[in-house]
C-alpha cells in the first residue's frame, strides 16, 4: 500500500536514525506499507528529505489526530 496525506497538525516522531523530529503542519507525506509497519517520507521546509518508521498504532493515532487527508493508492 502507498498513501499520501497532508499533515493538519504538528507530528512529533523519531526519524530512521532515531533522532527526534517534527513534521510541520501542511507537509505532504508519503506512507509506504512495510512488513514491520510503515515508512513515512517527507521533505523539511529546507528541502532536506526525512523518513520515519511508524507502527500500526502510530498510524492510527496520527490519522485520527493530525492527518487531514488520507488517500489510498495502489
CA 25 to chain centre: 11
> Per-residue DSSP letters for 48-73?
-EEEEEE-HHHHHHHHHHTEEEEEEE
Average pLDDT over every residue of 67-74: 56
Q: What is the mean pLDDT of the chain?
A: 86
The answer to whether the pTM exceeds 0.85 is no
Residue, of 73 and 34, whose pLDDT is higher? 34
Separation CA 42–CA 21 (nearest Å): 12
Boundaries of domain holding 10? 2-73
How many domains is the chain built from?
A: 1
Tens of pLDDT, residue by residue over 12-36, are: 999 889 999 999 989 999 999 998 8
Amino acid at each position: 500500500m502507498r498513501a499520501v496525506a497532508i499533515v493538519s497538525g504538528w507530528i512529533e516522531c523519531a526519524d530512521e536514525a532515531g533522532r527526534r523530529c517534527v513534521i510541520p503542519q501542511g507537509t505532504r507525506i508519503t506512507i509506504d506499507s512495510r512488513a514491520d509497519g510503515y515508512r513515512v517520507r517527507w521533505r523539511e521546509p529546507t528541502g532536506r528529505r526525512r523518513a520515519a518508521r511508524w507502527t500500526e498504532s502510530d498510524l492510527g493515532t496520527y490519522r485520527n489526530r493530525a492527518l487531514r487527508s488520507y488517500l489510498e493508492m495502489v
